[in-house]
Amino acid sequence: MKRTYHGSCHCGAVRFACTVDLAAMTSKCNCSVCAKSRFWKAIATRDAFELLEGKEFLTEYTFGRNVIRHYFCRRCGVKAFGRGEAKELGGEFHAVNLACLDDASDEELAGAHVKYEDGRHDHWEREPAETRHL
């Protein structure tokens, strides 16, 4: 069931709200940036995400095809979310870092359905051969 969560970076300068269903699907990717940062995400559509505070503290990073905009707090370095566009997701979306959800319980996170994506080989639709390290 969808629920509205509140999240923040480590220092609290960046704060957001998002409405997602953790039990429906979350994902972990093996692309270079997600694997190095251990980014575990849920997707919030454009109308299900709101940046509440800290726009001035965000630093943007892109790489590769520059499709996803990765946002980091310039004070503490935490990536709270990324932003992209995909037709299959209804256009603009935000990939929210589950580690930044301040009001998600340990039980909710433990019960989240995780889909693994092979971003390293540009095949997000399939699971990589090894996922235990993600």
Question: Can you give the CATH number for the domain in which 33 is found?
Answer: 2.170.150.70
Pick 66 or 33 by higher pLDDT.
33
Distance CA 24, CA 70 (A): 23
List, in sequence order, the alpha helices (H) in the chain: 32-37, 106-110
119 and 126 Cβ atoms separated by less than 8 Å: no
In this prediction, residue 61 carries a pLDDT of 93
Does 59 fall in a domain?
yes
In a domain, 104, yes or no: yes
Which of 79, 93, 10 lies closest to 38 in space, CA to CA?
Answer: 79
The domain in which residue 25 lies consists of 3-121
In this prediction the pTM is: 0.91
Q: Is residue 39 part of a domain?
A: yes
The reported pLDDT for the residue numbered 84 is: 93
Structural domain tally of the chain?
A: 1
In a domain, 127, yes or no: no
132 occurs within a structural domain: no
What digits encode the pLDDT tens for the residues 69-119?
999 999 999 999 999 998 887 889 999 999 999 999 999 999 999 999 998
Residue 10: left (phi > 0), alpha (psi -120 to 50), or beta?
alpha
CA distances from 24 to 51, 113, 114 (A): 23, 6, 9
Q: Is the pLDDT of residue 54 over 80?
A: yes
pLDDT averaged over the chain?
93
- Asked whether the beta carbons of 43 and 10 are under 8 A apart, the reply is no
* Domain assignment present for 93: yes
Burial per residue of 97-117, b for 16 or more beta-carbon CB atoms within 10 angstroms, e otherwise? bbbbbeebeeeeeeebeeebb
